[in-house]
Structure 1
Amino acid sequence: MTATHSFQDEVVYQIYPRSFQDSNSDGIGDLKGIQQRLPYLKKLGVDVLWLNPIYRSPDKDNGYDISDYEAIQPAYGDMTDFEALLNAVHDNGMKLLMDLVVNHTSDQHRWFQESKKSKDNAFADYYIWRDPVDGHEPNNWGSYFSGSAWTYVPARGQYYLHLFAPGQPDLNWENPEVRQSVYSLMKFWLDKGANGFRMDVINLISKPADLPDAPQAAGAEYGNVESLVADGPKLNDYLQEMNREVLSQYTDILTVGEMPGSTPEDATHYTNLDGSELNMVFQFQHVNLSPNPDARLGKWNDQPVKLPELKQAFARWQVALDGKGWNSLYWNNHDQPRTVSRFGNDNPQYRVISAKMLGTTLHMMQGTPYVYEGEEIGMTNVHYSTLDQYEDLESINAYQALVNDEKAVTPEKMLKYLSHISRDNARTPMQWDDSTNAGFSTVKPWFALNSNYPQINTKQALADQDSVFYYYQKLIALRHDSDLIKLGDFELLDPDDGDVFAYKRHYNGQTLLVISNFTANEVSRDYGQEHADSLLIGNYPDDQARVLRPYESKVYQFNN
């Protein structure tokens, strides 16, 4: 395989606009704030900036409930600000990736406002409506955000489907007019010069025929809908149509589909390298690993993931997509806790070294790496201790369901779970310096800062040549310069080793050996590293060959 697509060379930086940089002293990050920080991102070396939704929204789910796809959320600025940002991104040699949210809209979108009025208007079939069954919901589907996935509207005498919040009704992709409306809004942004889309839960758009009941765990109030709605029967048809009518009409467009519940085998169809659907997939297997024996709790836990399971999750996708599709590489994003807190060690003694270890382990794999804002300086979970500190709808609903309704867990235990894995851990404002409000704003931010910002911030990182920032800068530069890193196939070593993650990459007679110690203990491993031609990168200043110090990671290259 050779690098024939630009996305195989690129590294993406994800920006959560609300929390990145406030430019107008209202406590909320905005587009002008992002523009101010472009020199920092250019210095890091990333190629593409992905913005979480910046469209007009009631903000019931932090912008993933869109009421107008062709308008900017006023708190972020206006269209003039967007165009200025886009031009500045391009002037800096980078691309801009928009977030496309078209499984659902906001219930405030004019399409839904019309649809809910009656069964015989122009937008009546833009959403998924069903009659009651025996006076109740049409089936047992549960929302991803807990509770029923159905809400009743008296004006129609029907329920509408919302796989997420009630304020996020699902679009009816069976309706060709819906699809054409989506393609029109995509063209609106691509015509402005946007460079592609990250597509939110795009593999949920094709629902199964007849909407049957979902599997229901013992004691659970609702069925687990993901196994039914992921990778629906017409998903390939819809993505191919989208590609024909929109994506293929533009040059050098980057597309990534967020696909919860997808298998690698399915993903080879959606991300095939012939360019007929999408460029790459966001999959969830490695971040959805849970040590919970109680199915009622879902992802909510405070236990470390078992390393053999983590390795197998990565290896499964690395092997299955090699030469057939393309993967996204990520540890964290706006929906996941901070990686150094979840998979590394955020104790001050080990935070920097384990953050570098995690970066090395990920960036040496095949796929397109994604860096989430603050990851490159080793930002940590915020470790809140009371429920009223949380903003995230999923977290608050889960507390209500598991503590108050089902009595499945104690309040104290649930708060520990939230502290470990809530999405809010990723959404605290970016830590720029040690001044009041961390350089994010001159006023109190929309969301409380992590209290460790005086110690962990970009000003400190840029002043320290041994910081996580400069290490990530080197990782990105190595990928840009190496076809072995970009394209080599993947071989997992010692899959049952509970302490060390080791793998090889092979390409054109060259071999890459990656060895990462996921523990705070010194261990020893022999993979023939003494015979390597070079040590490409390591997170300690010297190399002790077979010895692996706490959270040590090193990458060796063997030539022909």
Structure 2
Amino acid sequence: MGSLATIAKPWWKDAVVYQVWPASFKDTNQDGVGDIRGVIESLDHIQSIGADTVWMCPIYASPRIDFGYDISDYEAIDPNFGTMADVDDLMQECHNRGMKFIMDLVINHTSDQHKWFQESRSSKTNPKRDWYIWRPAKYDEKGQRLPPNNWRSNFVGSAWTWDETTQEYYLHLFAPEQPDLNWDNLKMRKAVYDSAVRFWLEKGIDGFRIDTMTIYSKNPALPDAPITDPTSEWQSGRKWYGDQPKVFEILKEITAITSQYGEKMTVGEFGALKNLNVALDYVGASNRCVGMGFQFETVCVGYALNHWHIRNFSLQEFKQTFGKWQQFVEETDGWTCAFLENHDIARSVSRFGNDSPRYRATSAKMLAILLATSTGTLFLYQGQEIGMTNVPATWPIEEYLDISSQNYWKSVKTATDDKAVLDGALANIRKVARDHARTPMQWSDKPHGGFTTCGKGPWMRTNDNYVDISVEKQAHDPDSVLSFWKQMLALRKQYSDIFVHGTWRTMDVENPATMTFVKQAEGEKALVVLNFTDQPQPVKIPEDFRGSKPLITNLNQWYPETLSAYEGRVYVA
């Protein structure tokens, strides 16, 4: 993958980014929905953890079919969240604290309520008709109308919807209310760059998290996808829309714009990408596409995002994928990032740790050690700093509000009334639904976790364990998950050469219970040992680190040759 003698260190490589899901963060106007003022009020909390960058999920004008990822106006703010003046204040308050502020860039698709799509669907001769992807129907031998191809939507069913007005289908890789833009149209491109990119750069934004960055460009022939799921009428068309040559051209154009405004952070979603050579095409500095990409191979081990075929996975698999993307940047001009949670995935302590009352705090701290010692830009999701968990297994399906969860449930229920199949579907939702990350932030043990004082309660039910897990409860407890995160992020900053920029070597690849790795920089190295089980595990400390006490451990008592349940330690030599 080539080598590079010197690797540049822009500010965003050492950043610790705190991701805000605004609807569930903090409600200041008592309407049950989080708002921008709630983020402004909480900047001291965010900064106190050790984060220096705020990433705000979509707050643009939107019908909110997909919680704001269906944008009807890139230059307006959803009144549920506040006003443009509130955003200006938030950005200014971040900058006053020496913090950075980034937002989502959602440009694979718009809302079907966007004025561009409204014009596009009005007639086949409208000047914006070709701003979206329209195709005539196909017909089978019985004369029945069929979509142009067999592509599956990421939200269940066909990726095509019939439009009565103009008697054609339009493409949507997500919900029918999220029509895909046609990136082959250069006028459309310029309009997106002006409205979604330059508009916000002019306001002083520090960068973008780029939604679904690998799928903008579609093979113009729109061929049928290969049959990879014989049980379904619809198939993944990723072969024809993932990582197409033109997508790199588009990302270079975006970077050419952002670079006119100084050093900006860009981080995009790799999605299902597993090929490191292709990943480097995106994030290699010399290619000038994006600064870094989120790899989902680790966080989605055992399943694919928005697809519900879920299997058990081993710690060996987790380690293999984690180490793969850590080492990806060595001897290249690429960059990586470290995360275990975001708005699309279940809570990390429930998925990779142990969320029982006995082990929740210990395992959450163990995962904090893993992330804080990992190479790359660190991303922390709201509530992760206090060890928030998945929702209880007793919650009925009605409490799951995400479009992906509900569409999956409806599709299973439509197909069968077999109790075992329905129970299996509900079990899948309880494991990996996006809803787990979207419950209201738990600020205190007051009603609704202190998220809102709205009489009718929050837009989504607060996790029942807010009485035990909250910011207020942990803020002054030196043994809390929150206090531990503060310690770990302070150490990450102190030892940034090793932790942020160092090389990575996994030492116990085949061990099914522990994760041991060495981080190394010039003249310095660190050993990290982690127990992913609820049983004591033997630990072998290499000669280089023998005789030294751990720099930090997540337990008050430790034994030289044994790791206690969910114990983690860091040694520095």
Measured against the shorter chain, the TM-score band is over 0.9
Matched, 1:543 2:555: no
Structural mapping, 1:63-82, within 5 Å: 63-82=68-87
> Counterparts in 2 of 1:158-557, with a 5 A limit?
158-185=168-195, 186-216=197-227, 217-244=229-256, 246-262=257-273, 263-274=275-286, 276-290=288-302, 298-301=307-310, 304-322=312-330, 323-383=332-392, 385-405=395-415, 410-443=421-454, 444-482=457-495, 483-528=497-542, 530-531=545-546, 533=548, 535-557=550-572
Cα distance in structure 2, aligned partners of 1:221 and 1:357: 43
Query: Counterpart in 1 of 2:45?
Result: 40
Distance 1:516 1:27 in 2: 40
Give the CA deviation at 1:67: 0.3
Give the conservation status (yes or no) of the 8 Å contact 2:558–2:564: no
Q: 1:506/1:169 Cα in 2 relative to 1: closer, same or farther (>3 Å)?
A: same
- State the distance in 2 between where 1:532 and 1:265 align: 41
**How many angstroms does 1:218 deviate by?**
1.7
Q: Deviations over 1:75-129 (max 9, x none)?
A: 1011111111111111111111111100000000000000011122121111111
Alignment check: 8 A CA contact 1:140 1:222 kept: yes
Question: Deviation at 1:288?
Answer: 2.1
1:485-524 alpha-carbon deviations (Å, 9 max, x no partner): 1111111122111111111112113222111110000010
Bigger Cα displacement from structure 2, 438-447 vs 269-278: 269-278
Unaligned runs of 5+ in 2: 1-5, 140-144
- CA distance in structure 2 between the aligned counterparts of 1:90 and 1:534, rounded to whole angstroms: 39
- What's the counterpart of residue 95 of structure 2? 90
Q: How many angstroms does 1:9 deviate by?
A: 0.9
Distance 1:464 1:304, change over 3 A: farther
Partner deviation per Cα, 1:396-431 (whole Å, 9 max, x = no partner): 111122343267862222222211111001100000
The change in CA–CA distance for 1:129 and 1:406 in structure 2 (over 3 A counts) is farther
Contact 1:429 1:440 in 2 (8 A): yes
Q: CA shift at 1:274, angstroms? A: 3.6
Higher mean C-alpha displacement, 235-244 vs 24-33: 235-244
Question: What CA distance in whole angstroms lies between the structure 2 residues aligned with 1:266 and 1:85?
Answer: 36
- Distance 1:39-1:484 versus aligned 2 partners, 3 A rule: same
Q: Please list the CA deviations of residues 263-303 of structure 1 after superposition, one character each: whole Å capped at 9, or x if unmatched.
A: 322111211134712111011111222179xx9x94354x6
Q: CA deviation at 1:333?
A: 0.7
**SS class of match (1:452):** helix
Q: 1:70, CA displacement in angstroms? A: 0.4
Give TM-score, length-normalised by structure 1: 0.95
Name whichever of 329-338 and 485-494 sits farther off: 485-494
- The CA deviation at 1:543 is 3.2
1:532–1:557 contact (8 Å) kept in structure 2? no
TM-score, normalised by the number of residues in structure 2: 0.93
**Distance 1:532-1:189 versus aligned 2 partners, 3 A rule:** farther
Secondary structure in 2 aligned to 1:71?
A: strand
Contact 2:524 2:572 in 1 (8 A): yes
1:15 equivalent among 8, 17, 20 = 20
- Per mean C-alpha deviation after superposition, the further-off stretch among 344-353 and 519-528 is 519-528
Secondary structure at the counterpart of residue 505 of structure 2: strand
**Aligned with 1:204: secondary structure?**
coil
Query: Deviation per CA, 1:23-64, whole angstroms, max 9, x where unpaired?
Result: 101010000111111111111110110011000000000000
Could you tell me which amino acid in structure 2 is paired with residue 102 of structure 1? I
**Residue-pair matches, total:** 553
2:214, 2:270 within 8 Å by CA — same for their partners in 1? yes
- Percentage of matched positions with identical amino acids: 40
**Structure 2: distance between partners of 1:528 and 1:320:** 25
How far apart are residue 363 of structure 1 and its match?
A: 2.1
* Structure 2 letter corresponding to 1:420: K
Q: 1 CA distance for matches of 2:344 and 2:405?
A: 11
Q: How many Å apart are 1:258 and its aligned residue?
A: 1.0
Shift of 1:353: 0.3
**Partner Cα separation in structure 2 for residue 49 and residue 14 of structure 1:** 6
AA paired with 1:282?
F
Q: Secondary structure at the match of 2:92?
A: helix
Tell me by how many angstroms 1:243 deviates. Answer: 1.4
Moved more, 363-372 or 317-326: 317-326
One-letter code of the match for 2:504?
Answer: F
Deviation (angstroms), 1:320: 2.2
When structure 1 is superposed on structure 2, of 399-408 and 412-421 the one drifting more is: 399-408
2:128 pairs with 1:123: yes
Report the residue type matching 2:324 in the other structure.
R
Structure 1 segments (4+ residues) deviating >3 Å: 297-301, 406-409
Indicate conservation of the 8 Å contact 2:60/2:71, yes or no: yes
CA distance in 1, matches of 2:369, 2:47: 20
Q: Which residue of 1 aligns with 2:3?
A: none
Provide the rounded CA distance (Å) in 2 between the counterparts of 1:32 and 1:76: 8
Question: Contact (CA 8 Å) 1:49, 1:96: kept in 2 or not?
Answer: yes
3-state secondary structure, aligned to 1:401: helix
CA distance 1:2–1:472, shift in 2 (3 Å): farther
Per mean C-alpha deviation after superposition, the further-off stretch among 522-531 and 481-490 is 522-531
Letter in 1 for 2:488: L
Question: How many angstroms apart in 2 are the aligned matches of 1:214 and 1:359?
Answer: 41
Aligned to 1:112: 117
Query: Secondary structure of the equivalent of 1:554?
Result: strand
